[in-house]
Amino acid sequence: MEKGEQMSKKTRSFMPMTTSAVALLGTQIAQARRERVWTAAELAERLDVTPYTVARIERGVPTVAIGLVFEAAALVGVPLFSATEAELPQLVDAARHRLALLPARVWAPDLDIDDNF
């Protein structure tokens, strides 16, 4: 790359279900923040991010870090996974237990296709 030339940022498209889910969560966060009578700047301060990042969370921008979005949801009281805060650790443990029962690695099966009819 030559001096002064910028690398173009790769754009990513998301499935409609993903964009809808992120938009829904962002809207729920915005609603809960307003119900608490917090400004975007106040939520940003609590999250240790800029108000611009809060605006992106609330608009449902899918490239915002998931940890920040979940942290924002937790701070304003939006329930995650239809579970209470006390239930989440138990759900994590149960999911990890189920995961431990599955193979640690998965390989694509070698398929011998007999196309000699």
The DSSP annotation for 53-95 comes to HHHHHHHT-TTS-HHHHHHHHHHHT--BTTB-TTHHHHHHHHH
- Tell whether 105 is covered by a domain: no
pLDDT at 5: 53
pLDDT at 76: 97
pLDDT at 65: 97
CA distance 53 to 68: 9
CATH of the domain at 29: 1.10.260.40
Task: Return phi, psi of residue 80, to 5°.
Answer: -110, 135
Q: Say if CB 72 and CB 54 are below 8 A apart.
A: yes
- Tell whether 93 is covered by a domain: yes
- Tell whether 77 is covered by a domain: yes
- Tell whether 22 is covered by a domain: yes
- Tell whether 55 is covered by a domain: yes
pLDDT at 109: 81
Q: List, run by run, the mean pLDDT of 10-residue segments along the chain (117 residues).
A: 59 92 96 97 98 98 97 95 87 94 87 75
Range of the domain at 65: 16-100
Question: How many domains is the chain partitioned into structurally?
Answer: 1
- Tell whether 115 is covered by a domain: no
